[in-house]
Amino acid sequence: MTMQLYGFWRSNAAFRVRVALALKKLPFEEIEVDILSGRQFDAEYAELNAEHVVPTLVHEGHRIFQSMAIMEYLDDIQPEPRLLPVDTKERAYARALALVSVADAHPLVVPRIRKQLGVAFGADAAAIESWCRHWAAEGLATYERLLSRRPVAPFALGGAPTIADICIVGQVITAELYQLDITPFPMVSSLTKRCFELRAFADAHPFKQAGYRT
Protein backbone atom coordinates (compact mmCIF):
# COMPACT_ATOMS: atom_id res chain seq x y z
CA MET A 1 0.00 0.00 0.00
CA THR A 2 1.31 3.46 -0.93
CA MET A 3 2.23 5.60 2.04
CA GLN A 4 0.21 8.71 2.70
CA LEU A 5 1.92 11.89 3.85
CA TYR A 6 -0.29 14.57 5.32
CA GLY A 7 1.66 17.76 4.83
CA PHE A 8 1.66 21.29 3.50
CA TRP A 9 3.85 23.09 0.99
CA ARG A 10 5.21 25.57 3.54
CA SER A 11 5.79 23.05 6.33
CA ASN A 12 9.49 22.65 7.01
CA ALA A 13 8.83 19.39 8.82
CA ALA A 14 6.95 18.02 5.80
CA PHE A 15 9.89 19.07 3.59
CA ARG A 16 12.21 16.92 5.71
CA VAL A 17 10.00 13.87 5.28
CA ARG A 18 9.57 14.44 1.53
CA VAL A 19 13.36 14.43 1.14
CA ALA A 20 13.73 11.29 3.23
CA LEU A 21 11.07 9.45 1.22
CA ALA A 22 12.68 10.55 -2.05
CA LEU A 23 16.19 9.51 -0.98
CA LYS A 24 14.83 6.06 -0.19
CA LYS A 25 12.72 6.04 -3.38
CA LEU A 26 9.59 5.20 -1.42
CA PRO A 27 6.38 6.13 -3.28
CA PHE A 28 3.85 8.18 -1.38
CA GLU A 29 0.70 10.20 -1.81
CA GLU A 30 0.79 13.66 -0.26
CA ILE A 31 -2.46 15.03 1.15
CA GLU A 32 -2.62 18.75 1.84
CA VAL A 33 -3.49 20.07 5.29
CA ASP A 34 -3.51 23.86 5.04
CA ILE A 35 -1.95 24.85 8.35
CA LEU A 36 -2.18 28.55 7.49
CA SER A 37 -5.96 28.25 7.30
CA GLY A 38 -6.21 26.13 10.44
CA ARG A 39 -7.24 22.88 8.73
CA GLN A 40 -4.99 20.96 11.13
CA PHE A 41 -7.73 21.50 13.72
CA ASP A 42 -10.45 19.87 11.61
CA ALA A 43 -12.05 16.90 13.37
CA GLU A 44 -11.11 14.51 10.59
CA TYR A 45 -7.42 15.40 10.76
CA ALA A 46 -7.47 15.44 14.58
CA GLU A 47 -8.31 11.74 14.40
CA LEU A 48 -5.00 11.21 12.59
CA ASN A 49 -2.85 13.59 14.60
CA ALA A 50 -3.98 14.70 18.06
CA GLU A 51 -1.17 17.28 18.18
CA HIS A 52 -2.79 19.19 15.29
CA VAL A 53 0.45 19.54 13.34
CA VAL A 54 1.95 18.22 10.12
CA PRO A 55 3.37 15.95 8.91
CA THR A 56 1.66 12.67 9.61
CA LEU A 57 2.77 9.53 7.79
CA VAL A 58 0.26 6.71 7.39
CA HIS A 59 1.78 3.34 6.54
CA GLU A 60 0.06 -0.03 6.76
CA GLY A 61 -2.52 1.40 9.12
CA HIS A 62 0.07 2.99 11.41
CA ARG A 63 0.12 6.74 12.00
CA ILE A 64 3.51 8.29 12.72
CA PHE A 65 3.98 11.96 13.51
CA GLN A 66 6.97 14.24 14.21
CA SER A 67 9.46 14.45 11.33
CA MET A 68 12.40 12.98 13.25
CA ALA A 69 10.36 9.96 14.31
CA ILE A 70 9.13 9.51 10.75
CA MET A 71 12.64 9.68 9.26
CA GLU A 72 13.95 7.15 11.78
CA TYR A 73 10.96 4.90 11.05
CA LEU A 74 11.83 5.02 7.35
CA ASP A 75 15.38 4.00 8.21
CA ASP A 76 14.02 1.05 10.16
CA ILE A 77 11.72 -0.25 7.45
CA GLN A 78 14.17 0.39 4.59
CA PRO A 79 17.74 0.69 5.87
CA GLU A 80 19.35 1.69 2.56
CA PRO A 81 20.32 4.34 1.81
CA ARG A 82 20.85 5.13 5.45
CA LEU A 83 19.66 8.42 6.90
CA LEU A 84 21.40 7.68 10.21
CA PRO A 85 24.97 6.36 10.34
CA VAL A 86 25.68 2.87 11.68
CA ASP A 87 28.43 4.07 14.01
CA THR A 88 27.01 5.01 17.41
CA LYS A 89 28.98 8.24 17.81
CA GLU A 90 28.27 9.36 14.27
CA ARG A 91 24.59 8.54 14.69
CA ALA A 92 24.44 10.71 17.80
CA TYR A 93 26.21 13.53 15.96
CA ALA A 94 23.75 13.31 13.06
CA ARG A 95 20.83 13.52 15.48
CA ALA A 96 22.42 16.45 17.29
CA LEU A 97 22.87 18.39 14.06
CA ALA A 98 19.32 17.64 13.01
CA LEU A 99 17.89 18.77 16.33
CA VAL A 100 19.48 22.23 16.10
CA SER A 101 16.73 23.03 13.61
CA VAL A 102 14.06 20.52 14.64
CA ALA A 103 14.14 21.25 18.37
CA ASP A 104 15.73 24.69 18.74
CA ALA A 105 15.27 27.05 15.80
CA HIS A 106 12.29 25.88 13.76
CA PRO A 107 9.75 25.54 16.63
CA LEU A 108 10.08 29.27 17.30
CA VAL A 109 8.67 30.27 13.89
CA VAL A 110 5.77 27.86 13.39
CA PRO A 111 2.20 29.19 12.91
CA ARG A 112 1.05 28.67 16.51
CA ILE A 113 4.03 30.67 17.84
CA ARG A 114 3.52 33.46 15.31
CA LYS A 115 -0.15 33.63 16.26
CA GLN A 116 0.61 33.70 19.99
CA LEU A 117 3.06 36.58 19.54
CA GLY A 118 0.18 38.64 18.23
CA VAL A 119 -2.40 37.44 20.76
CA ALA A 120 -0.26 37.66 23.90
CA PHE A 121 2.02 40.56 23.08
CA GLY A 122 0.22 42.52 20.38
CA ALA A 123 3.04 41.95 17.90
CA ASP A 124 2.20 43.22 14.41
CA ALA A 125 3.21 41.56 11.15
CA ALA A 126 6.52 43.43 10.97
CA ALA A 127 7.48 42.47 14.52
CA ILE A 128 6.57 38.83 13.94
CA GLU A 129 8.63 38.72 10.74
CA SER A 130 11.59 40.28 12.58
CA TRP A 131 11.25 37.58 15.27
CA CYS A 132 11.24 34.84 12.64
CA ARG A 133 14.24 36.27 10.80
CA HIS A 134 16.16 36.43 14.08
CA TRP A 135 15.63 32.77 14.91
CA ALA A 136 16.24 31.68 11.34
CA ALA A 137 19.61 33.45 11.50
CA GLU A 138 20.41 31.98 14.92
CA GLY A 139 19.92 28.49 13.55
CA LEU A 140 22.14 29.16 10.56
CA ALA A 141 24.85 30.69 12.75
CA THR A 142 24.86 27.59 14.95
CA TYR A 143 25.18 25.34 11.92
CA GLU A 144 27.99 27.46 10.51
CA ARG A 145 29.96 27.10 13.76
CA LEU A 146 29.37 23.35 13.90
CA LEU A 147 30.26 22.71 10.25
CA SER A 148 33.51 24.66 10.65
CA ARG A 149 34.72 22.21 13.32
CA ARG A 150 34.98 19.13 11.11
CA PRO A 151 35.39 18.52 7.38
CA VAL A 152 32.29 18.55 5.21
CA ALA A 153 33.06 16.05 2.48
CA PRO A 154 30.81 16.51 0.63
CA PHE A 155 27.96 16.24 3.14
CA ALA A 156 27.84 16.91 6.85
CA LEU A 157 28.87 13.38 7.82
CA GLY A 158 30.66 12.21 4.70
CA GLY A 159 29.78 10.85 1.30
CA ALA A 160 26.00 10.65 1.53
CA PRO A 161 23.28 12.91 2.95
CA THR A 162 21.78 12.08 6.32
CA ILE A 163 19.10 13.54 8.56
CA ALA A 164 21.68 16.21 9.43
CA ASP A 165 21.84 17.52 5.87
CA ILE A 166 18.06 17.35 5.51
CA CYS A 167 17.58 19.52 8.59
CA ILE A 168 20.36 21.97 7.74
CA VAL A 169 18.80 22.55 4.32
CA GLY A 170 15.41 22.91 5.99
CA GLN A 171 16.85 25.71 8.12
CA VAL A 172 18.06 27.45 4.96
CA ILE A 173 14.56 27.16 3.51
CA THR A 174 13.20 28.91 6.60
CA ALA A 175 15.69 31.70 5.92
CA GLU A 176 14.54 31.87 2.30
CA LEU A 177 10.91 32.22 3.35
CA TYR A 178 11.86 35.30 5.36
CA GLN A 179 14.21 36.63 2.66
CA LEU A 180 17.25 36.33 4.89
CA ASP A 181 20.68 36.76 3.28
CA ILE A 182 22.64 33.55 3.86
CA THR A 183 25.98 34.74 2.44
CA PRO A 184 27.37 35.24 5.99
CA PHE A 185 27.12 31.45 6.34
CA PRO A 186 29.41 30.11 3.56
CA MET A 187 29.75 26.54 4.80
CA VAL A 188 25.99 26.20 5.19
CA SER A 189 25.51 27.76 1.75
CA SER A 190 27.96 25.37 0.08
CA LEU A 191 26.41 22.32 1.73
CA THR A 192 22.93 23.44 0.73
CA LYS A 193 24.02 23.95 -2.88
CA ARG A 194 25.40 20.40 -3.02
CA CYS A 195 22.20 19.02 -1.53
CA PHE A 196 20.01 20.82 -4.04
CA GLU A 197 22.01 19.24 -6.84
CA LEU A 198 20.24 16.04 -5.79
CA ARG A 199 16.75 15.62 -7.15
CA ALA A 200 15.46 14.34 -3.81
CA PHE A 201 16.16 17.73 -2.26
CA ALA A 202 15.29 19.89 -5.26
CA ASP A 203 11.90 18.29 -5.89
CA ALA A 204 10.96 18.52 -2.19
CA HIS A 205 11.50 22.29 -1.98
CA PRO A 206 8.36 24.09 -0.75
CA PHE A 207 8.29 26.29 -3.85
CA LYS A 208 8.04 23.15 -6.03
CA GLN A 209 4.91 21.84 -4.34
CA ALA A 210 1.48 21.85 -5.94
CA GLY A 211 -0.06 24.05 -3.27
CA TYR A 212 2.69 26.68 -3.28
CA ARG A 213 1.51 30.25 -3.27
CA THR A 214 3.32 33.53 -2.78
The order of strands in the sheet holding 56-59 is 28-32, 3-7, 56-59, 62-65
- Name the CATH code of domain 88-206 (choices 1.25.40.10, 1.10.10.10, 1.20.1050.10, 3.40.30.10): 1.20.1050.10
Q: What is the pLDDT of residue 51?
A: 95
Q: Per-residue pLDDT averaged across 149-156, rounded? A: 94
Q: List where CATH 3.40.30.10 sits in the chain.
A: 3-81
pLDDT at 214: 62
In this prediction, residues 178-193 reach a mean pLDDT of 96
Per-residue pLDDT band at 2 (split at 50, 70, 90): confident
Which pLDDT value is given to residue 198? 98
pLDDT confidence of residue 213: 74
User: Which residues fall within 8 angstroms of residue 134, CB to CB, at 6 or more apart?
Assistant: none
Predicted pLDDT at 135: 98
How confident is the model at residue 65, as a pLDDT? 96
| 74-120 tens-digit pLDDT | 999 999 999 999 999 999 999 999 999 999 999 999 999 999 999 99
Question: What pLDDT was estimated at residue 212?
Answer: 86
How far does CA 162 lie from the centroid of its chain?
Answer: 12
Return the CATH fold of 3-81: Glutaredoxin (3.40.30)
Task: Give the Cα separation of 176 and 194 in Å (integer).
Answer: 17
Q: Among 29, 23, 25, 69, which Cα is nearest to 49's? A: 69
SS3 per residue for 150-162: CCCCCECCECCCC
Q: In this structure, what are the phi and psi dihedrals at residue 109, rounded to the nearest 5 degrees?
A: -125, 10
The string of pLDDT tens digits covering residues 194-212 is 999 999 999 999 999 988 8
Q: Enumerate residues 6+ apart whose C-beta is below 8 A from 41.
A: 52
Q: What is the mean pLDDT of the chain?
A: 96
| CB neighbour burial string for 73-91, b if at least 16 within 10 angstroms, e if fewer | bbbeeeeeebbbbeeeeeb
Kindly state the percentage of the chain with pLDDT values over 90.
Answer: 96
Q: What mean pLDDT is predicted for residues 44-50?
A: 95
pLDDT tops 90 at residue 1: no
